[in-house]
Structure 1
Amino acid sequence: MKAKPPASASNANITSLLKKGIKSAFPEDIKPMLATLVDEPVDEPGWLYEIKWDGYRALGYINMGAVDIRSRNNKSFNEKFYPVFDALKQWKINAVLDGEIIVVNDKGVPDFSDLQAWRSEADGHLAYYLFDILWLDGFNLMNLPLNERREILRSVVPANDTIKLSENFDATGSEFFELANKMGLEGIMAKKATSLYTPDLRTREWVKIKTEKRQEAIIGGYTKNENTSKQFSALLLGLYEHDEFNFIGVVGTGFTNKLQSELLQKLKPLQTTICPFKIVPDYNKPSRFRPNPPKAEVTWLRPEMVCEISYREMTKDGAIRHPSFKGLREDKKAKDVVREKPIPITEIVEEKNALHTSKVISSPGKKERKTLLNPKDETQTRNIGGHDLKFTNLSKIYWPKEKVSKRDMLNYYFLAAPYMLPYYIDKPQTLNRYPHGINGEAFYQKNVKGKVPGWIETFPYHSETDGEDKEFLLITNEASLLYVASLGCIEINPWSSRMQTPDNPDWCIIDLDPDKNSFNQVIEAACVTKKILDEIDVTSFCKTSGSTGLHIYIPFGAKYTYEDSKEFGRSIAKLVQAQLPEYTSIERKIFDRGGKMYIDFL
């Protein structure tokens, strides 16, 4: 099996690809995009396959000769991995790169324990394998599809023993995974060729498949058996779940004497007299393999240090069995560690098919969707895509005049989901909640941090308006759409921009909002708008809005800011109103419009 041969890319083609990016200043703090763990390889077309490197994820910043290498949690690698730093210093480029720093063992396989023990070049050869480029020469490339970003990356990676391109391989996922297993690699990565780069988000467009089960865990203490010569016997491990630190097991294998000594030096500053776990673990508990375990004493630790383990299985209550220590993860923060449960690859494939535009536009076919909720029970629980959703107060009337209930609305959303979902992908949501129906008091909810289930994906964003850090909900699948509907969101309010380019909208919208006007007048205003846009060679699309209004969408392709969009929309609105002064208005206040159609811009 060979790496996929490079496509010939001319300088003109690379320049053309660069111009598809967004002009921006040099970024200084990008959080890496994360992959979702799945249970088996994906064998669908349109995916790129790479080695899953067993090392430290690292973002490389090169600008005007200055170099900075940062871990996932923004820790500097400049001194620790100085050969990589020196190699980047020699690279005459202005770029932001994403990759993995590794050490290859004597078998030619990346070895995380060797990387942990690395102190100088005498300990092994360091390599920085690059698999993505996020910014180059004044252009933000994160809105480009992966295959185009890789084409740009391939054109600039130097011929170097330290900086290398992480190749993608021409094979099926199953073939590549089988080879990775035979070679003793940690696993493989599968990435959609069309995927955009979404910082600080665990996406389903990048997935990882591991050859052995692994889990990151937080160290909450260590034990020392009586009459042992070891510096400690086992580490007590836990995970934060629902803001509680829960015990998941002990690991007592995978340590050398030297490693134990180094670990103890790092753990001693974290010693405390208070057990950090929600429930004090029974670390002397006998098992069928050790009916009379040696008596151990425990030293509690503040739960701050992260490690990685391999294990054979995880019990139903979340405990690990037969774990082995792999190393500390000093590149990760305790608060970022989650229990990794592989999701079925079939769920991702089915989700991809459901969201494919051609599927959405075509007829659903003979096999129609059935009703989600029965007409009787007031509270019902349904499993949707592996997630249990509880629906309550189902008889509550949401539309009094039409006698339409919350149950009716949820059944509608269930039936319409395949048609709706493509328009929400990658778009943060502002929730407009009507808990008491269409005539009841409504409220907007933007920040959902800590208020939604863990499986709901969110987008972190710093609001310049109020200076706060918020997490906006993302609708990524049928389950998350129905969860939003269950909150009383009669209408769905996605941003006009995507999370990859949050400050740059996909489109500008001209909103024709009639008051006492006829629909023929609304149509005439739309035609005038189109004529004005056609005259300046600007593409536009018209769609209905509500019962009598029209929206005119002007594609911007995330090339301009919201302020640019606002000013452009204002100019178009003024031109339209000037041609139809008898029955249109651009006045913000309803009273000042005099019953005329309002031309708004969004």
Structure 2
Amino acid sequence: MGLEGIIAKKADSVYTSDLRSKEWLKVKVQRRQEVVIAGFTKNEGTGKSFSALVLGVYNNGELQFVGKVGTGFSEKLQKEMMKQFEPLISKKSPFDYEVDVDKPTRFRPKRMGAKPTWLKPELVCEVGFAEVTSDGVFRQASFKGMRMDKKAKDVILETPANTEETVTEADEKPTSKSTLKKSELALAPVKNTERKTLLNPTEDTQTKKVCGHDLKFNHITKLYWPEDKITKGEMLNYYYKVGDYMMPYLKDRPMSLNRFPGGIHGQSFYQKNVTDKAPDWANTFDHVTDEGKVTKYLVGTDEASLLWMASLGCIEINPWFSRAQTPDNPDYCVIDLDPDKHTYDQVVEAARITKDILDAIDVPSYPKTSGSTGMHIYIPLEGKYTYQQSQLFANIIVKLVHKQIPDYTSLERSIAARKGKMYLDFLQNRPGATIAGPYSLRPKPGATVSTPLSWDEVKPGLTIQHFNIHNALDRFRETGDLFKGVLGEGIDLAETLKKSQSVFK
């Protein structure tokens, strides 16, 4: 029937308009398809074995293009797959017509410089996907595994069958044990873990249980982004749904509350001290200054702490770079590219130069849009160094960047002294300083999101507006967490500095 899914309900429950409850559930169809691997692409500048697989199915004996899949495989798996691909590499496309493997999509709205390497159409894999578009391409495809039990020529586009006919046919077939080995059996279905909406958008005050705690939400229908008709409730629902992606970057970290109770055009203020404000279940951290002043910070623990902040009007979420357990040792170093009246293409150029410098000394780096006008580049430290050491390292890097593009960048902290140039900010690497965290909304027109990127995407044509409250969650489901390496193995700063001295003499 081509339906999205079914509604399951308790037999004695009553339908209520615009109200979500556990008594009425929407169960989405999980679509899967065997596909022929027709080739692979490699985006310009990527260090991966490949960026995506080119997919096809047979139709009347001819291979038809059904899209690409670029998620679902680890770096280790990619290397193993490349060993299978190498004997099958072909100069000729297996398709009888020209295929555009670099066509922009809704979630990657510009060309990535993808170059195809064609393969003889002999290998089969299985993918999951959301739907088939009008031009026959799988949307939101994800790799599930190789299918060594399938012959490529037998792979056709599967179509839904009548349930009664299918059941009858199965009942009429004699039962027999499968002759397939366990290793050749199809993969188990993936559990749908997508979160549902938390709040009813029409009810202005609601109390919901989150992570075992009762949270009261007020002014849900208030317009926080008036021009875009986006309410506080929509912001809260976004944070509820993005929680799984966001919490690793908030957990155990002191939080600075940047509150916008009147929306993006109302008066805003920072609140650090939550003494007598935080709920009883909240974790806090006492930060003591050299003068003996104590500030009690909220500590990120779970989605309840995230949603409590959002309920106060925290449109953006601002975690420390370090954890409450190790407050003097940041988990990462950040280089903040802060433009004035520059184009975003200039921000991209500065980011690419930063990456080239870091690549030259074997330092991994992870970019994200600021969600405002700039870009943030994170370098994993794993809490092994002090803020002062992190800041000194960032200073070395931005000086090297500035040396290459002095015409439009500046290292001056004073806005007046920059004279309209882009600020290469290394001073964010200090105790208590914060920036909008990964996956955070920003109080800017369009409800933009501070979005982790792959370096393949950091190209001219990229804009902040590509990533907003309306499309971010679909993107994250497609790309996965591109930022997880930030919390992984940290660099060896001594070895890195030694290498930089030899490379940048």
Q: Tell me which interval the TM-score lies in, with the shorter structure as reference length.
A: 0.3 to 0.5
Higher relative contact order (CA closer than 8 Å, sequence separation 6+): 2
Q: Report the TM-score when normalising by structure 1.
A: 0.38
Larger gyration radius, structure 1 or structure 2: 1
Q: Report the TM-score when normalising by structure 2.
A: 0.45
- Greater strand proportion: 1
